[in-house]
Amino acid sequence: MCKCGKAHSQKPGSCQLNCIRHLCDLKISMKIGTKFIHAGVEPDPYTGAIMTPIYQTSTYVQEAPAKHKGYEYARSQNPTRTALEAAFAAIENAKHGLAFSSGVAATDAVIKLLQPGDEVIAGSDMYGGTYRMFTRIYSKFNIRFHYVNMQDANNIKEYINSNTKLIWTETPTNPLMNITDIAAVAAIAKQNKIMLCVDNTFASPYLQNPLDLGADLVMHSVTKYVGGHSDVIQGCLMMNDDQLREQLYFIQKSTGAVPGPMDCFLVLRGIKTLHVRMQRHCENGKKIAHHLRDHDKVARVYWCGFEDHPNYQIAKKQMRDFGGMMSFTLKNDSVAEAKRVLSSTKLFALAESLGGVESLINHPATMTHASIPQEERIKNGLTDSLIRLSVGIEDVDDLIEDLNQAIG
Ligand SMILES: Cc1ncc(COP(=O)(O)O)c(C=O)c1O
């Protein structure tokens, strides 16, 4: 979609919309690095500014009632957001993108597609905030959630019934780095006419494109790799189906969880370096995962790039590389020792979140996943002593030295 609010002609050179470039045509052939830099962005039609301006406005002047330039009120449309939504679509090979004020707001919009009595099959290992929304907000509206280990796609079959309307999966999962076979789950979903939504936050659109594998919807916490600089909270949804886009756009404007134009600008800028950042996240992640695995005080490392990871072959098939997220446990498997390590790193900052250029260390049991009851967490393998790393793009030797001095 162009800034003028209309679709380009798909025939090179034939577009009558007075746009400076015809990126819709280019989208078909652009390689990933080119696409991330140019995706969705047109020079500003008024000035030619190469960077999309921050349209810091709440409303738009109309020439006569209902006679306007496609923008009425900024909850419904904003030109900075329009450019970002086109970029979101392009980076996930989708027809449509929608931007939300946070990742959970994007998830919330998906659940609002459902009716009381509907059922959802969700992964048993996922971001604690998603679990909290499902169990504490939507269960009381009579939506039923089944939490299933999706490492084997067939596990979902026994939970499917005529009320099942949505399958929700995260892959790789937060924080145990389990892998779901997206194509296999998509095939089961299609057979049973169930919508499949993939939370692609951990992989980022650089590593994995779920719509290409048969998913109906992709969700990102843009706060993480897509934004990439730990300076924005945002979420997004990408989809191909026009009707689904209209339903979600209606929810977006009716319930109002839209991002501001400044945040949209920051994410547009972040996307331009996503491929370069991800390449370094992957390189550093690989070195650190192997270093930790060889460390005599480390018991287990959870990273989907190890050849003996239970779903390594699936990860290899559906991802371009394995990313910079991992978790580990210590041989001295006590919560006190884990907390000592968590408080001892100097470069790895102890903080929630992930996917930024700087490395973070996190204690899922008390931080990102504290909202999951302990019994439920431990049943799914998330122990109280698990440590999660978001490996940044610093010099990897410095990161290894920092982990060594912290582990001792
Ligand atoms: C995998 C995953 N999905 C969704 C979210 C929620 O996103 P946000 O914090 O942007 O609302 C997070 C946040 O940590 C996450 O890690």
Measure 4 CA to ligand 1 centroid, in angstroms. Answer: 32
pLDDT of residue 2: 46
Atom of ligand 1 nearest to the CA of 352: 14
Q: Which residue has the least CA distance to atom 15 on ligand 1? A: 127
pLDDT reading at 317 higher than 70: yes
pLDDT of residue 15: 43
Give the model confidence (pLDDT) of 180-199 as tens digits: 999 999 999 999 999 999 99
pLDDT reading at 167 higher than 70: yes
Contact 161, 184 (CB under 8 A): no
Instruction: Assess whether the C-beta atom of 327 lies below 6 angstroms from ligand 1.
Output: no
Atom of ligand 1 nearest to the CA of 170: 1
Residue 39's pLDDT band, with cuts at 50, 70 and 90, is confident
Q: Tell me the two tokens of residue 127.
A: 């971001």
Distance, CA of 40 to CA of 90 (rounded, Å): 7
pLDDT reading at 152 higher than 80: yes
Mean model confidence pLDDT for the chain: 93
Measure 112 CA to ligand 1 centroid, in angstroms. Answer: 18
Give the model confidence (pLDDT) of 227-250 as tens digits: 999 999 999 999 999 999 999 999
Helix (H, G, I), strand (E, B) or coil at 193: coil
pLDDT of residue 33: 93
Q: Which residue has the least CA distance to atom 2 on ligand 1? A: 127
Measure 49 CA to ligand 1 centroid, in angstroms. Answer: 33
User: Looking at residues 15-30, what average pLDDT do you find?
Assistant: 48
Residue 30's pLDDT band, with cuts at 50, 70 and 90, is confident
Give the model confidence (pLDDT) of 62-110 as tens digits: 999 999 999 999 999 999 999 999 999 999 999 999 999 999 999 999 9
Give the model confidence (pLDDT) of 194-230 as tens digits: 999 999 999 999 999 999 999 999 999 999 999 999 9
| Active-site residue set | 75, 127, 199, 224
Give the model confidence (pLDDT) of 322-369 as tens digits: 999 999 999 998 999 999 999 999 999 999 999 999 999 999 999 988
Instruction: Assess whether the C-beta atom of 127 lies below 6 angstroms from ligand 1.
Output: yes
Q: Which residue has the least CA distance to atom 8 on ligand 1? A: 103
Q: Which residue has the least CA distance to atom 6 on ligand 1? A: 103
pLDDT of residue 339: 96
Q: Give one word for 86, left, alpha or beta, with left for phi > 0 and alpha for psi -120 to 50.
A: alpha
pLDDT of residue 29: 64
Residue that wins the pLDDT comparison between 210 and 377: 210
Instruction: Assess whether the C-beta atom of 103 lies below 6 angstroms from ligand 1.
Output: yes
Measure 388 CA to ligand 1 centroid, in angstroms. Answer: 15
Atom of ligand 1 nearest to the CA of 222: 10
Amino acid type, 358 = E
pLDDT of residue 12: 40
Pocket test for ligand 1, best of 171, 222, 223 (most atoms within 8 A of CB): 223
Distance, CA of 27 to CA of 34 (rounded, Å): 9
Q: Which residues of 275-295 are buried (b: 16+ CB within 10 A; e: fewer)?
A: bebbebbbebbbebbebbeeb
Contact 304, 170 (CB under 8 A): no
User: Looking at residues 19-23, what average pLDDT do you find?
Assistant: 44
pLDDT of residue 372: 87
Helix (H, G, I), strand (E, B) or coil at 191: helix
Write the CA distances from 91 to 41, 106, 178, 272, 291, integer angstroms.
12, 17, 24, 10, 32
Helix (H, G, I), strand (E, B) or coil at 247: helix
Distance, CA of 51 to CA of 43 (rounded, Å): 7
Q: Which residue has the least CA distance to atom 9 on ligand 1? A: 103
Compute how many other C-beta atoms are within 10 angstroms of the C-beta atom of residue 119: 18
Instruction: Assess whether the C-beta atom of 201 lies below 6 angstroms from ligand 1.
Output: yes
The number of residues in the chain equals 408
